[in-house]
Structures are given as C-alpha cells and as structure tokens.
A and B are shown apart, each in its own frame.
Chain A
Amino acid sequence: MEHPAANYKTVPKKSSRSRLGTTWNHIKRDRQLLLLFLPCILFYAIFRYGPLYGLIIAFKDYSVFSGVLGSEWVGFEHFITFFTNHDFWMLFRNTLLLGLYTLIFGFPFPILLALLLNEVRNKWLKKSVQTFSYFPAFLSVVIISSMIIDFLSPNHGILNQMLAAFGFETKYFLVDPGWFRPIYVISEIWANMGYESIIYLAAIAGISPTLYEAAKVDGASRFHMIRHITLPGLFPTMLIMFILKTGSMIRVGYEKVLLLYNPMTYDVADVFSTYVYRKGLLESNYSYAAAVGLFEALVAMVMLLSANAVSKRLGGNGLW
C-alpha cells in the first residue's frame, strides 16, 4: 500500500567497511526513533531477558546478600532434590490433571455458545446474552474465588441451602479433596465461556455466506449447515486455540488455586506454580523454587512445540 518514507537513502552494500558506514548512517538517520525506542529496549532487557539470566540461580545456592554472581554453584542439586522428592509426582499429577480437565471440558463450551448465538434470529436476545456472558471476564480472581467460597459455604451458601431444602446433607465442598477439581473446572468454564466465544463468533462471521445460500437451495436443514459448513469453517480457529491452550495447560491459573486451596486439599490442588510460590517466596528457598519454575517452563515449551507439530500433521496449520 504505502511506500517507504521518501528520505531513506539507499546505499549499495559493497565492502564490509562501507556496510559499517551504512550502519552508522542508519543509526544517525534513526537517532530520534532510537531514542524513542530506548525505554522499550531497557524494559525488555531488564524485565524479560534479565530474569532469563537470573535463571542461573537455579544452579546456585542463591543468597540475597551475595547476589546472582557471588552465590556458589551447586550444579543440578536442586533439580535432583526436586525429582526425588515425593512432592514431585503429586505436583506433576495435579498440574497435569487440572490443566487437562480444564482443557478437555472447557474447550467445547465457547464453541457451543458461539454456535447457538449464531443461530439466534432475535438481535436483542443475542446482544444481551453476549453482554452478560462475558461479564465474568472483567472480574478479578479474588472476587470470583470469594463468590465460589460464598456459594459453597456450609452455613449459608446458596448451594447448601438448596441441598438442605431438598433434604440432603450439607457439605463443606472446599475441604473435600474430591470436589476441588470439579469446582475449579466448572468455575473456569463459567468465567471464560463468553469471553472465548468472541473469537469463534468472529470466525463464523468470516465464513462465506454463499456457502449457506447454496446449502439452503439444496434444502439443507440448520443442523446440516452447522455440521457441514460452520464446524468445518471453524476448524482452523479451533486448532489454533487448542494449540495455544495446550501450550499454557501446564501453567494452570495458579492465582485461583492459591485462593481456593487449603492444607486439606493440597494433595489434589497444589500445582507447580503454587509450590514455587510457597517454597520460593514464603520460605525464601529461591534457588530451589527457580529450579522448579525452570522445569515447569521447559515442560510448557515441550507441550507447545508438540501441539504445534501435531496440528501441522492434522491440518497443516500450526502457529508457525
């Protein structure tokens, strides 16, 4: 569309010497832009690449007083401690299951909602359902968690009141290890369904209307059209969303776990990130926690890469 700014001089690249000169001219020409860009460079260097450098404390015995460089090397000691710890398998299982359940059960709901919304002829109904359904996306985890606690409270929680009204025994759901995962997953679905459906609605809107018209002429019913036009049309979007979600699966929403769990449910609720928080920040075991965090990051990376590879095999469309 637009051509590059007119004042850019094109200098032919010949020897390395003149290339150096070109670079210098380039910097001089862009000095104002570079100055504007400086905060960005500093930000990414300090707060995004700095911590990557700081990761070496996972291989050291970090103490705040000696700093990152001054602390003593210990090699893989923290990793060995972690892998041989009996907490390891518990954390691994909890993280994986919580992530997996959220992924499997949470994935279809936004799609279903988008499909149903798309079939609504009444504009007003469509608009208001959408407006309401993505309101929870604006609420903080603290508020969502406190609502969960409130609704499940044994004394005056609305769920227990209902149970009592129907003659069932009331229950304190939040100290029951068997209930932690369902509570977590259901509340995730509740909070994210509307918000995530936006993406699918947009994808549906992008499907060519001529396909539907042709199908109508051929006498296709609504279900036929959903099955043979809308769903295949949504497939690429679904795939991308699935990869993204698999990649972040291991990074379970630890803030919510942190707010909802308690020593009674640690066995099913404790995930890598909450463990990192407890060991690292509450017990000041920085190096050990950094090692756990590094392991978590590596697992996440592997999962993202394999999800992408699988998706390429399936439909040829990966993230990259």
Chain B
Amino acid sequence: MVGERKISLFGVINTLILTLVAVATLYPIVYITAISLSDTVSVVQGKVFLFPKRLNFEAYGEVLKNDTIPRAYLNSVFYTALGTFVNLLFTAVAAYPLSQKGFFGRKFFMTAIVLTMFLNPGIIPTYVVVQQLGLTDSVWALVLPNAIWTMELIILKSFYENMSSQIREAALIDGASEYRILFNIVIPLSKPALASIGLFYFMGHWNSFFLPLIYLNDPDKYPLQVVLRDMLIYSAENDAGLVDRSALAPQSIKNATIVLSMIPVLLLYPFAQKYFAKGVMLGSEKG
C-alpha cells in the first residue's frame, strides 16, 4: 500500500521509543565494560560515561593476579560443565520412556511429576534433605537436587513424542536394546532440542548464586557468583547499610570481574538467542 511507504508520525515515535529501550538495556553493560577498561584516575573523577578513558587492561591483570577470582572461575566452569552434563543425561533418560505411549505407569509418573510444579515445600525441607544425605559442601549439593527441571523434561518429552516411532520399531525388530536406541539413535537425532534445554541448564548453573551460598561452606569451593557477591555487594556481617557498599573494591577491578563473568554468556549469546526464544515459547505452552 502507498501509505506504508510514507514516514508516519507513529513510525518515528515508535522507532524512537524502541531505540530508547535498546539503549536502556544495553547502556549498563557498555558502561561497566568502559569502566573496567579505563584507568583509575578517570574512573574516580567520574569521567567515564560511554567509552573507556585512557584504555588499559590493568584491572584485568589485577584480577588474574589475585588467586580468589581465577579459582572461583574454574570452580564455576567445573560446576557448570558437570551440572549441565548431569542435567542433560537425567532429563534425556527420563524423557525417553515417558514419551513412549505404552510405557508402564506413564500416566501415573506424569501426574506425579507435574504435581511437583505446584507443590513447593520451600527452602528448609529441601536443605534438610540435602544435609541428611551428606551432600553439603560438595558439588553434588548443587547438581543432584536440581538434576531435572520439570519444564525442561516436559519439553524434551514432547520433542521425543513427535519423533517418528518407526525408527524405534525398526531398531527393536533388528534386536537393538532400548539403551542402544536411546544413546545411538534418539539422542543424536535430538541435538537441537538438547541444545535448547542445555542452554537453560547452562545459564542456570553459571548464574546460580543462592544454592552455592547455602550449601557450600568452604570459601575455596565458591563459584564466581558467590565471590562476586562478596566482592561487590556484601562486605561483612556488620554491614549495617551505612557504608557505601559500592566502595568495597576499586571500581575498575570489580567491573573487570563482572565482564569476565559475562564472557561465557556473551560467547553463547548468538546461539542462545535462537534456542532461548524457542524454549520460552515451548515453556509457555501448557504441559
């Protein structure tokens, strides 16, 4: 239509608003990166707004010299890798039987699983269970209590349901076991779905802060998020809120740590976007 080619007032305002939204979401991140790359004097004088002033990488050097942060970084990498692997394995192994129409007790299991989405006993009883199992202060306290996310399980189950059952039937006739079918046929064929839910799991582990905070006592085991919190937000028990909490460590060092912690997220973001959107949509549909 002719009218659409014209520049309308609505179009201009709309573009303006949306640009504002984009800037507002992006600015804090740009600002933090700029601070982390500027020299201390410019930061203290409040000269940095958008671009780094007197570009340097000193802050990053400082961060890597100190051993708390690199160790926390490695801890985070380890927890995330192990956690995501366990998540995917548990979810795949659980989703496959559930996706088979005639599977024994399928209806009962599904009901019991979906029910847990509504029954949430809270932090304390879960903590007590983890404690009684003797998992406290180990990686397993972070991994096992959340080995399966119900939403992700349902998503993968529906993906498997939509896969052709003929492959499985043919394999069964050829004498393949269910294990072989799952690990050699179904899982390789479901890579996109696994990537999608794997991403949610990955983000969950990488950004996890509360679980390591309550389950880990040994500071050497802290992941990055807990160390970040100690460094950025929480100084000590006697912090009465009167201290300016942003004055805990030099600004550029804090921001360098934040930027470092965002690197895996930034690297994954281009792929993540696509799958993330898909996952959100599947998640919003009724199980």
Contact = CB atoms under 8 A, between A and B. Distances in A.
A107 B156 CA distance: 29
Contacts of A5: 100-102, 165, 168-169, 172
Contact of A297 (B116, B120, B207, B261): B120
B165 A2 contact: yes
Given A51-B121, A263-B241, A286-B124, 20 more contacts: A4-B102, A29-B104, A32-B179, A33-B96, A40-B109, A47-B126, A47-B145, A54-B121, A68-B128, A134-B276, A137-B276, A140-B261, A143-B228, A156-B43, A240-B284, A258-B210, A263-B240, A293-B124, A294-B121, A297-B122
B17 A198 contact: no
Given A2-B166, A64-B131, A132-B26, A27 B244 contact: no
8 contacts: A7-B169, A40-B94, A143-B262, A202-B281, A222-B10, A255-B210, A281-B124, A289-B123
Contact of B118 (A134, A153, A304): A304
Given A54-B129, A281-B127, A39 B258 contact: no
A11 interface: no
Contact of A30 (B104, B113, B128, B247): B104
A116 B14 contact: yes
Interface string A1-36: 011111110000000000000010011011011101
Interface string B75-115: 00000000000000010011011101111100001001100
A265 B241 CA distance: 8
Interface of B: 1, 4, 10-11, 14-15, 17-19, 21-22, 24-26, 28-29, 31-32, 43-44, 46, 49, 90, 93-94, 96-98, 100-104, 109, 112-113, 116, 118-129, 131-133, 144-148, 153, 164-166, 168-169, 172-173, 177-179, 182, 203, 206-210, 214, 225, 228-229, 232-234, 239-242, 244-247, 251, 254, 258, 261-262, 265, 269, 272-273, 276-277, 280-281, 284, 286
A2 B125 CA distance: 43
Contacts of B177: 32
